[in-house]
Every structure is written in structure tokens, then in C-alpha cells.
Amino acid sequence: MIEVNRAKERSAAHASGNPLICFSHLRWNFVFQRPQHLMSRFAAERRVIFWEEPEFGDFAPRTNSRICDKTGVEVVTPHLPAGLDEAAQEEALRGLLDAYLADTPDPLIRWYYTPMMLAFSAHLPAACTVYDCMDELSAFRFAPPRLLPLERALMEQADLVFTGGFSLYEAKRDLHPNVHPFPSSVDRAHFMQARAHTDTPVDQIPIPGPRLGFYGVVDERMDLELIARVADARPDWSIVMVGPVVKISPSDLPIRPNLHFLGGKDYSELPAYLAGWDVALMPFAINESTRFISPTKTPEYLAGGKPVVSTPIKDVMRHYSDLEAVKIADGADEFVAACEAALALAADQSQAWLAEVDVKLSNLSWDTTFARMSSLIAQAIEGEASTAPMIIDGAKAKYDYLVVGAGFAGSVIAERLASQHDAKVLVIDRRPHIAGNAYDKLDEAGVLIHQYGPHIFHTNSDEIVDYLSQFTAWRPYEHRVLAEVRGQLVPIPINRTTLNKLFGLDLKTDEEAAAYLASRAEPVDEIKTSEDVVINAVGRELYELFFQGYTRKQWGIDPSGLDKAVTARIPTRTNTDDRYFGDKHQVMPADGYTALFEKMLDHPNITVMLGVDWAQVKDEVDAGHIVFTGPIDEYFGYRFGKLPYRSLRFEHRTLEQEWSQPVAVVNYPSPDVPYTRITEYKHLTGQQSPRTSITFEYPSAEGDPYYPIPRAENQALFKKYEALADATPGVTFVGRLATYRYYNMDQVVGQALATFRRLDAAKRAAEAGETVTAELVQAAE
């Protein structure tokens, strides 16, 4: 029989909001401060239940619960008989959970700090499900085998995913459409007690100074060898380690006369220990378990008035390395030197560095974090899209540059500014991923597909290839396209093979093919349109077979109404070269475009926020300069009306066969076929698989803007916006949408590199006190 032992009273502060149940892998009396601070704030407005890991013993299944005096949170501890297998444990826990919630009529907010508890709670009716992912738990020692499958299931059920830092956010952002980074805040009032604390804890009194200290869990994330080497290098220093030893044997701890492991302490005691240190340490190992961590103790140490020395943890470098008080060191020798510098800083009587620290921490607030999370939950319950801006350090976060758009244009400029100017750059994109239209991903068949249609890299520029080669290896690939015409698949662009197959000819030389095309050509006195270009070159029959229907579908306009530039890009050949492009470099990124972008944006000075619209952050970010790669008319509020664009719709399919077509892309020019082309990706990637993936591409008048429609009246409208852009200081417009031009990928990269050179010239001129002139910029390029 299941026994339920409930607390006798409920929190008096419960309001009418949905009850919240929080499933945690930690106990409330040993919980990280993030859930403690957040749940206490939620408890002020609704019933909050904190469901702990079970305890095992010689007793029948039951729950013990209590009300936390400080927070009003109901803390529930399940008790299970020892010896139950996994299935029996889940069954018992499900029964205890249902019994405990029997008098809870409203749909719950389900909040998970661990996917493991989904196994017995997934059935609960939920108004909103939140996955607050604080760590990459699968990378921890002794992680359960079921953790990853359960996390995938939780991702499918979750309405919102919060992450404990930006590195973790970058790892999860493509797994869910509604992911938000929330690096933990700091209880400044609590830890600032260390600045005035005079009573030294009893077990720290006999430890001589100078003291360099760490508090937190001592587990596989600690670089124990580093700690030992620092202790050996400076026997005159005392290294104090406060915290429980977990998942590693105490016998594995280094033993040194000046190394002191004091065990776990209560949260309330930490400021007293911190007060007695000269420098605070974060000696984390650099391994899989620390790859995504965003240590809360960084702002806690700083709030306590202590300089910090850390190993190169990405989120620490990203958010705090600009402070004089935070030293980053890789390796024992560097760590010792950084500690020496930090000790000197701590001894500085002026304490000027503390003013910089306090400015940084002034934007960190648990109240702000709670308010934003609460707003996102309310929107999710109402079924609204997320509109809350994701600003890491609170209101008016400061950056040197705000880059709008994480495609080629924005990412290239962000990388150049960060790596060449040491600039702090915020990159935002309204989509939930980087790489813009070049975004690729593995589908259910394990095939790397291009989400927005095929992207084939080709260029004649050595400079562009050399630049991108910093971020990717290349796979040689020469693109070939066939067109389905009169029941045959023939090469496109039109070449000698096309003519021979389509018309039953036996043209053997370039001269014969040229003469044949000339015999079919219909000279046009003045070439103005795309129709004129083709008819003048190959005549009306080939125009109608290959171009007219395809162009009408692609642009929604007959070629006679399109600028001549549209079809001028498509060559006609007299030889048998069936390659679609003739460029010097024809390659594909070996690991895909998304991997290329990940490396390009993997810089400590670059912060990336996804699923964020320009309108959400423009009033929240204090940026020295804006680089805008979105639609130029959108930036100016469509003041003169919307610029016309053509869009696309993609239908992705997986087929239970090895191959579907002989080349990567087959075009369908016939107006009777609703799509323009089919792409088969294994040709592009070189992957081997018994299954294959294809995409049908349908042009559309609605949807994301893809192609500026090249007509004279559209260019005239753009020129109005371009004049506004030229008169707008502090903003640079770059990329397809911002300059209303159709560019290949290499052209966008080239434009972005040229734009950086202009920004660089302006920066250098400003530093030299010179006036930026057109001649100066031209010389820089």
C-alpha cells in the first residue's frame, strides 16, 4: 500500500497561477542556488513542489514532505524500499506522485532539472513543460545510459528550454525551437557580506595566509593535478577547498601540507569562508564534463570582493575576461603566475578594480532572471511566440558591435571584428540556428541535408577560399544538373550533349554546335529582358523548353517582365562540359556548412543569441555600431513600402532506397510540374547510406525573403532605402537582403570581407585622428 505523508500546511502565499512541480536530481538542502532562488520567487505567487531524488531503506513506499520556512516551497522526498529494479522504482514513484497530486486540480507547470524523472512523470497534465538544463549531464561520470534517450523525449515534450549558460545554449539551440540562455545570476547582498566579514570559521583559523580558496563540489570537473602542482610550486600559499567530495575516491585527492579539504558547508556559511581568502580559484579541468559549464561562483566570488583565477572555461572567458579582477590561465605555470597577479591586485589598497566589478554585477539580478522566465512561461501557456529579449547581463548589455543576422554576411564580419579588433560582438538571428540559408543538419536517415535547398560553393577567389579554410576542410565537388525535358534527362546549362540528345543530332565539334545554335537564334535589336537574352542566344524553342516555364514558376513573372540579368547568369555551351559551374574552386565544406559557422563564431568575444528578433533587442542593447544583414526595408519600418521578394517552400523526404536520381539536382522546367527542382544530398556530401534524402522545391510568393525580384520599379524603391541607409550613422548594411541584390555565397563572403576592411580603415583613421575619406577606404581595400 502506498502511504502519503503530507505537510500539514500549505504556503499562505499561493495565488491562482498554475501549480509548479520541480523535478531535481539534487536535494533541497544541497540544491544549487539557481533552483533555490527561482523556486522561492515562484512560490510567492503559486504553489511550488520540489520533488527530490528518492531515499531507499527498509520501508514501504511513501512520501515525506515539508514546507521550507524561508521560501514557502513544498519539499517532497519519496522513500522506496531498497532492492527495487528500475521498472519497479518507476512504477512506485508514479504511484506516489499521483497520490501526492490527487488534490491538485489545475494543469501543472512541469519543471525539470533532470530528464531522468520524466520516466514516471510524463503522464501529468501540463499547462507548460520547462527543461532547465543547467549542465550537460550526459558528460558526467556515471551518467545513466537512459539519460540521453530521456532528454530527447523531454525535448519533444518541452514548451521551453532554458540553459545555464551560453555554451550550453549553443549546444542545445538546434534541438528545440524555443531555447533561451539564462546564465545564473548572483545573490549580491549575500556574498557582499564577505567584504565586511570579520569572524573566521573555526576550521579555517589555523590555516596560514595567503589563502587561495575554492568552494563547490569536488568531482571529476576538478583538475586535481593542477591543484597539486600549484601547491608544490608555492608551498608558502595555503589552498583551501570547501565542498563535498563526490564521485571520486578521497584516496585520489592530492595530499600536501598546504592543501586543505574542509568538506561541505551550508550556503549561509560561504561568505565567511570567502572573507578569509585573498584570491578565489576555479581550477576546473578542461574536459567533456566542463565543456558547457557557466560557473555561478564567478559572480559570487566577485561580489565577495575577491579576484578570481580560472582555467579557460569558455563562458567565464566570454563574460568576465574583460575584468581586471578575472585572470584566465591554462596550465600550472600560467596558473601560478595568474595567482601571483591576483594576489598583487588584492593587496592594492586603492581597490579600484572593485568599481569595475560592481558595474558588471549591477546588471545581474535573480529578480530579472525570474521575471523573464515567468514571462516566457506565460507566453507559452497562452500559445504565443516568445518575445522576451535574451540579454545576458540584464538591461542595456554593452557590446562594441551588434550584428543582426548569423548567415555568411553577419558571421564573417563578426569573426573579423572579434579576431582582428578584439571587439565584443553580439550576433542575433530570428531563426533558431546559425548559418542562415546555408544551414544544414542530419535528418532521420543520418543524411546531411540543406534545410533551405542546395547550397553549392564555387568561386574564382583564392582570398575567399583561404579565409574560409580557417574554419573547414573541403571536399572536392563539381556540381552537375539535369533537366527533365520531353521525357529525357539532359544536361543544363545547355551544351552539345543536350542538343544531341534532345534533337537526335550528332554534333561532334564546338564549331558544329555553335553553328546549330546560331541557326536557331532569333536576333533581338535591344536586349532588355530575360526573354530577350535567351531568344537572342538560342531561339524560342529552347527558350520555351528550358527557361520560360521554369522562370515563371521561380519568379512568378514571365521572363519578358524580368531584368536581363536573371538569365544572363546562365551560360550556353558548345562543348560537352556538363559541369554547372566553371569556377576555379568547386568544393563543399567537409563537415557541412553549420560546422563551418560554428567554428567561425567560436570566439570568446562573440555572443550568439538565436530565436531573437531585431525588434526585441534594439532597445535592450547598447552597441557602439550595428551591422544589419536583414531586409533593409524592415530596418526602416517599411517607410516607402515593402520591397518585393520571391520565397521558397521545401518538402523534405526520406526514401527507403540507396539512390533516387543520377545527379544532385534535377530541374523541372515544365509549367505542368509544380516544383522547380529535386535535390538528392548524398551526391553533395559523399555520404554512404542504404537510405536517401531528397527535397522538392516550390517557389512561393509568401514566406521568408530569398530572392530580390529584379525589376526596374523594385530597384527604384530600393534606391530610396539605400539613400536612408547612407544617411544613417552607426549602421552598416551588408548582405543579400540589406543591399537587395542576388549574391552567390562567395560574393556575400567577399562583400563582408570588403565591409570589414572599410570598418577597419575607419577605426584606424579615428585612432590616428584622421578624417575618413573615400580615398582612404579605397586604399584600405
Encode pLDDT of 335-380 as tens digits: 999 999 999 999 988 888 998 888 778 667 788 788 878 888 888 8
Distance CA 108, CA 97 (A): 13
Q: Is the pLDDT of residue 712 over 70?
A: yes
Q: Is the pLDDT of residue 778 over 60?
A: no
Query: Would the CA dihedral through 157, 132, 134, 36 be positive or negative?
Result: negative
The pLDDT-based confidence of 164 (bands split at 50, 70, 90) is confident
Helix, strand or coil, per DSSP, at residue 115: helix
Looking at per-residue pLDDT, the higher value among 713 and 14 belongs to 713
pLDDT digits (tens, 9 = 90+) for 101-146: 998 877 999 999 999 999 999 999 999 999 998 877 665 555 567 7
Q: Percentage of the chain with pLDDT > 70?
A: 92
Lowest mean pLDDT: which of 100-104, 273-277, 399-403?
100-104
pLDDT digits (tens, 9 = 90+) for 195-215: 988 889 999 999 999 999 999
The pLDDT-based confidence of 250 (bands split at 50, 70, 90) is confident
Which of the given ranges, 160-164, 530-534, 756-760, has the highest pLDDT on average? 756-760
The pLDDT-based confidence of 455 (bands split at 50, 70, 90) is very high
The pLDDT-based confidence of 32 (bands split at 50, 70, 90) is low
- The answer to whether the beta carbons of residues 381 and 17 sit under 8 Å apart is no
Q: Is the pLDDT of residue 30 over 70?
A: no
Helix, strand or coil, per DSSP, at residue 743: coil
Mode of pairing for the β-strands spanning 48-51 and 55-57: unpaired
Q: Mean per-residue pLDDT for 177-206?
A: 88
Q: Is the pLDDT of residue 530 over 50?
A: yes
pLDDT digits (tens, 9 = 90+) for 621-649: 889 999 999 999 999 988 999 999 999 99
Looking at per-residue pLDDT, the higher value among 468 and 70 belongs to 468
- The answer to whether the beta carbons of residues 131 and 160 sit under 8 Å apart is yes
Helix, strand or coil, per DSSP, at residue 101: coil
Q: Is the pLDDT of residue 611 over 90?
A: no
Lowest mean pLDDT: which of 74-83, 137-146, 515-524, 652-661?
137-146
Please give the pLDDT value at position 146.
76
Q: Mean per-residue pLDDT for 8-16?
A: 40
Please give the pLDDT value at position 175.
84
pLDDT digits (tens, 9 = 90+) for 649-658: 999 999 999 9
- The answer to whether the beta carbons of residues 217 and 246 sit under 8 Å apart is yes
Looking at per-residue pLDDT, the higher value among 240 and 777 belongs to 240
Q: Is the pLDDT of residue 777 over 50?
A: no
Distance of CA 28 to the CA centre of its chain: 31
Q: Is the pLDDT of residue 781 over 50?
A: no
The pLDDT-based confidence of 185 (bands split at 50, 70, 90) is confident
Residue 345 to residues 2, 158, 275, 307, 309, Cα–Cα distance (Å): 60, 46, 16, 7, 12
Tally helices (H) and strands (E) across the chain.
Answer: 29, 33
The pLDDT-based confidence of 9 (bands split at 50, 70, 90) is very low
- The answer to whether the beta carbons of residues 304 and 194 sit under 8 Å apart is yes
Looking at per-residue pLDDT, the higher value among 118 and 322 belongs to 118
Q: Is the pLDDT of residue 242 over 80?
A: yes
User: Across the chain, what does the average pLDDT equal?
Assistant: 88
Distance CA 713, CA 720 (A): 11
Please give the pLDDT value at position 141.
56
Q: Mean per-residue pLDDT for 321-334?
A: 92
The pLDDT-based confidence of 388 (bands split at 50, 70, 90) is very low
- The answer to whether the beta carbons of residues 306 and 324 sit under 8 Å apart is no
Q: Is the pLDDT of residue 525 over 90?
A: no
Q: Is the pLDDT of residue 296 over 90?
A: no
Q: Is the pLDDT of residue 1 over 70?
A: no
Please give the pLDDT value at position 668.
97
**First-residue to last-residue Cα distance in the chain:** 80
Please give the pLDDT value at position 766.
83
Q: Is the pLDDT of residue 284 over 90?
A: yes
pTM of the predicted model over 0.75: no
Q: Mean per-residue pLDDT for 142-167?
A: 83
The pLDDT-based confidence of 568 (bands split at 50, 70, 90) is low
Please give the pLDDT value at position 36.
85
